[in-house]
């Protein structure tokens, strides 16, 4: 927000991101989560007799009264954000229990509170991301099934290749999204960790109770304790998370890019859904632009741009320095909010996506079967010719087709060596796209089984997760 004018400055404030995700990373949410960590510490201390559970309950009731405004007011005086929070919390707790206030932040260091609160934000964020990945995977599997027999032109290097089906394309994307779901499940145990380590990680203030106090705090918050940490959680945890977001963003951009390519006027096989009152251009009324896919592509590049700054934030002096702090206020927040944004966009794109099966057929047939040259070469080889000889014969026929404008079938049959092996009916059969799809349907079915298995496991995990 602009301090002087009160208007938002960053596009995340007014254009990008869902309210659900932004609420997790808001300033108020961060402060309340840090307060939750402090209260969890009081509970763990009460369990060991430092103070009574009754005093902790009094503290917990008023802890929610801590406001960002008061914290910032104190920080302006003392120039330390966590100590400002501790003072603001103590002010509230002292009103109801001086005994509980006495133990606030006992044995903790600043990043015990910051990093553990961040872990709760990450926990709730990845739950949202995973649910949306599951939703997208299911949509793609449904489309793979719906269009499993919709034959279309495959392209490599942007040029005509063998036929495939739109079901196969959707299945490819579905499997990639499912792998991201699996990666996230594998990542969560390493990412969703907190700490109560003290000044340099030794938990010296707690004596022999440090490990158990830390364990109790994390259990209250629904986290795991880090195996070991210095004054901060080692940043390889966050680096892995940013790399994961970058990887997902690359997949979403790939899907969006291919939709854009296939929506081009001269192809027109796919089309983003277009609202009845939607405007495509301020000057060309006919335009139907793939703006959501373009939005995904642009923001995916921003997300990947945060990967390197986060890696630099892992390189800290000894037990810690402060170079990571300012960067992570940006990298973690913006990458998470933007990934959720483009994932939401892609779900919407897929739900409304139009597949023009007629145009897909026209684009396929326009080539007159020349893209099925491999099918002819394979059949010639099966009937006795050497594979290399068959390749050269078919290649020459294809080149004559380009040069003369004759049909591919004509150019094949007029070659004596080919016509001795293949009849006109043979050539006609070989140049039908439906006859050269290999194991497309088996692959689609394999993907369906794989994806739905991944989805079921992910939903079970999410339903058992404490948020």
* Alpha carbon distance 387, 385 (integer Å): 6
For residues 202 and 317, state if they share a domain: yes
* Alpha carbon distance 155, 172 (integer Å): 15
Q: Is 105 a catalytic residue?
A: no
Tokens standing for residue 334: 């913006």
* Alpha carbon distance 208, 222 (integer Å): 23
- The predicted structure's pLDDT at residue 6: 66
Residue 279 domain-assigned? no
- Confidence grade of residue 99 (pLDDT, cut at 50, 70, 90): very high
For residues 202 and 336, state if they share a domain: yes
- The predicted structure's pLDDT at residue 79: 95
For residues 91 and 164, state if they share a domain: no
For residues 384 and 343, state if they share a domain: no
Q: Is 10 a catalytic residue?
A: no
Bridge partners (DSSP) listed for residue 152? 164
- Confidence grade of residue 229 (pLDDT, cut at 50, 70, 90): very high
* Alpha carbon distance 428, 151 (integer Å): 17
State how many domains the chain has: 3
Last residue of a domain, one of 74, 106, 138: 106
CA distance readout (Å), 319 to 34, 190, 214, 322: 22, 20, 19, 11
Q: Which has the closest alpha carbon to 296: 278, 272, 276, 280?
A: 272
Bridge partners (DSSP) listed for residue 160? 155
For residues 57 and 197, state if they share a domain: no
Averaged over 112-125, what is the pLDDT?
Answer: 97
pLDDT at 467 over 70: no
- Confidence grade of residue 11 (pLDDT, cut at 50, 70, 90): confident
Kindly report the average pLDDT of the chain as a whole number: 94
pLDDT at 297 over 60: yes
Q: What is the DSSP letter of 325?
A: H
For residues 218 and 87, state if they share a domain: no
* Alpha carbon distance 17, 129 (integer Å): 12
Query: Containing domain of residue 88, as a range?
Result: 24-106
Q: Could you tell me if 455 and 138 are in contact, meaning their C-beta atoms sit under 8 angstroms apart?
A: yes
Helical segments of 284-423, H only: 291-305, 307-312, 323-352, 357-365, 373-382, 387-404, 408-413, 416-419
For residues 299 and 417, state if they share a domain: no
pLDDT at 1 over 60: no
* Alpha carbon distance 157, 169 (integer Å): 16
The residue whose two tokens read 């779901």 is 181
For residues 314 and 380, state if they share a domain: no
Q: Choose, from 10, 52, 80, 281, the residue flagged as catalytic.
A: 281
For residues 48 and 148, state if they share a domain: no
For residues 82 and 142, state if they share a domain: no
């Amino acid at each position: 927000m602009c301090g002087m004018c009160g208007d938002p400055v960053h596009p995340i404030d007014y254009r990008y991101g869902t309210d659900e995700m932004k609420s997790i990373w808001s300033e108020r949410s961060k402060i309340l989560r840090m307060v939750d960590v402090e209260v969890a510490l009081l509970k763990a201390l009460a369990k060991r007799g430092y103070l009574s559970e009754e005093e902790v309950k009094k503290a917990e009731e008023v802890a929610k009264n801590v406001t960002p405004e008061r914290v910032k007011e104190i920080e302006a005086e003392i120039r330390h954000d966590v100590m400002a929070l501790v003072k603001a919390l103590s002010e509230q707790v002292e009103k109801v229990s001086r005994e509980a206030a006495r133990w606030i932040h006992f044995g903790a260091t600043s990043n015990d509170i910051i990093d553990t609160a961040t872990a709760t934000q990450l926990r709730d964020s990845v739950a949202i991301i995973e649910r949306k990945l599951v939703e997208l995977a299911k949509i793609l599997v449904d489309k793979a099934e719906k269009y499993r027999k919709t034959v279309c032109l495959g392209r490599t290097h942007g040029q005509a290749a063998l036929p495939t089906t739109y079901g196969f394309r959707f299945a490819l994307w579905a499997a990639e999204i499912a792998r991201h779901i699996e990666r996230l499940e594998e990542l969560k145990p390493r990412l969703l960790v907190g700490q109560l380590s003290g000044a340099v990680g030794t938990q010296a203030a707690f004596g022999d109770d440090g490990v158990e106090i830390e364990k109790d705090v994390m259990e209250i918050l629904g986290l795991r304790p880090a195996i070991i940490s210095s004054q901060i959680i080692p940043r390889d945890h966050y680096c892995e998370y940013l790399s994961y977001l970058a990887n997902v963003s690359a997949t979403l951009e790939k899907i969006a890019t291919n939709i854009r390519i296939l929506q081009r006027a001269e192809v027109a096989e796919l089309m983003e859904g277009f609202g009845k009152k939607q405007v495509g251009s301020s000057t060309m009324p006919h335009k139907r632009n793939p703006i959501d896919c373009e939005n995904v592509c642009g923001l995916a590049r921003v997300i990947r741009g945060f990967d390197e700054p986060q890696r630099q934030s892992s390189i800290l002096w000894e037990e810690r320095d402060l170079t990571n702090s300012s960067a992570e206020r940006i990298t973690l927040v913006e990458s998470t909010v933007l990934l959720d944004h483009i994932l939401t966009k892609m779900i919407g794109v897929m739900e409304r996506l139009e597949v023009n099966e007629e145009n897909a057929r026209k684009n396929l047939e326009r080539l007159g079967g020349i893209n099925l040259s491999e099918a002819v070469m394979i059949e010639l080889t099966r009937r006795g010719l050497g594979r290399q000889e068959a390749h050269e014969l078919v290649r020459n026929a294809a080149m004559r087709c380009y040069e003369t404008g004759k049909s591919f079938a004509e150019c094949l049959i007029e070659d004596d060596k080919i016509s001795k092996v293949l009849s006109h009916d043979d050539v006609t059969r070989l140049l039908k796209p439906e006859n050269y799809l290999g194991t497309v349907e088996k692959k689609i079915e394999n993907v369906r089984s794989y994806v739905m298995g991944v989805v079921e496991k992910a939903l079970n995990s999410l339903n058992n997760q404490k948020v």
